[in-house]
Amino acid sequence: MSLASNPVMSLASNPPNYDPIARLQNEFKNKSQFIVEDVIPCLEQILFPYLSKEARILDLGCGCGDLVQQLHLKGYQMTGLDASEGLLRYARANAPESEFLFGDIRNLELPSTFNAIVSMDVLLFILNNEDLTTVFRNVYAALQDNGLFVFTITLIELMHKLAEEKYFNHIYVNDECAFLELFYYKPEEKMWEIKVTGFELVDKTWKRSDTTWLRKDHLLTDVQSALENVGFTEISHFELGEGTGSACFVCRKHL
């Protein structure tokens, strides 16, 4: 069977397709209020104290650029990278004074210029240990010596009970847009198939878009081993609130 004829294999080999629903992502996801109230206080504890005021930070999987903009307002030199041109168009508008790059994080090739790299709710779309290790190796290469890598990822140990309850469906609505995410758990693969449907009011006509994403829950030991194998040290993690299934990792590059 060819790759093109197998939709699941094709999904597993490519990053999620955000382009059809880029406007909806910009309308509903990771808005400045959430980042200011939830993300920034966390980074103030685990990242900011270890950086100079004008440190260079890369946001890996930056989406519509809201976190990039908030970190820019803190005085950091920001770069965002994403695999969706549609999302990057919004990112460049939302954070006009920052730099943005188009690319797949599995193929990241950047010089060792960043004091820190952050990645929020992105690595859950990396679907196997080989690709996860590749991403970590690329991140390690892009960090300066003593640089920090902060990322969130869903862990099987935290998700297994939540997966059984299957209450992750999301619906977002405003006067001009509607956005639905329906989650279907595949227990054998510890993977989620997410059916995404969007509606946008365009020239007084409702336009519908559909896409499908795959999301992977990882074992804690696999994540830790992959980080150690590429050279990261001082690896720590903590759960991001009860019932989220996600953990935040902090690790350092030492040579």
Q: What's 184's domain CATH number?
A: 2.20.25.110
Report yes or no on whether pTM surpasses 0.95: no
Note the pLDDT tens digit of each residue in 147-196. 999 999 999 888 876 766 656 788 999 999 999 999 988 888 888 999 99
How many Å is the maximal CA-CA distance in the chain? 58
Q: Is the pLDDT of residue 8 over 60?
A: no
User: Same domain for 236 and 123?
Assistant: yes
The CA-atom distances, in angstroms, between 117 and each of 21, 63, 78, 122 are: 26, 15, 10, 13
User: Same domain for 178 and 127?
Assistant: no
User: Same domain for 147 and 168?
Assistant: no
The DSSP secondary structure of 30-43, one letter per residue, reads S-HHHIIIIIHHHH
User: Same domain for 55 and 29?
Assistant: yes
User: Same domain for 193 and 243?
Assistant: no
User: Same domain for 80 and 142?
Assistant: yes
Q: Which of 39, 248, 14, 210 is nearest to 131 (CA)?
A: 14
Alpha-carbon gap, residue 48 to 32, rounded angstroms: 18
Q: Which of 13, 5, 253, 10 is nearest to 143 (CA)?
A: 253
User: Same domain for 45 and 117?
Assistant: yes
Domain limits for position 103: 3-155+219-253
> 232-239 and 246-253: which strand pairing?
antiparallel
User: Same domain for 183 and 74?
Assistant: no
User: Same domain for 102 and 44?
Assistant: yes
Q: Considering its fold, how many domains does the chain have in total?
A: 2
User: Same domain for 137 and 80?
Assistant: yes
CB neighbours (10 Å) of residue 57? Answer: 26
Alpha-carbon gap, residue 195 to 78, rounded angstroms: 32
The CA-atom distances, in angstroms, between 50 and each of 9, 143, 220 are: 41, 14, 25
User: Same domain for 87 and 190?
Assistant: no
CATH number (domain holding residue 28): 3.40.50.150
Note the pLDDT tens digit of each residue in 20-73. 889 999 998 867 788 998 899 999 999 999 999 899 999 999 999 999 999 999
Q: Which of 250, 180, 188, 240 is nearest to 216 (CA)?
A: 188
With beta carbons less than 8 A apart as the criterion, state whether 213 and 10 touch: no
With beta carbons less than 8 A apart as the criterion, state whether 78 and 99 touch: yes
Give the up-direction half-sphere exposure of residue 160: CA atoms within 13 A in the CB hemisphere.
7
Residue 216 corresponds to which amino acid?
K
Note the pLDDT tens digit of each residue in 70-128. 999 999 999 999 999 999 999 999 999 999 999 999 998 999 999 999 999 999 999 99
User: Same domain for 56 and 169?
Assistant: no
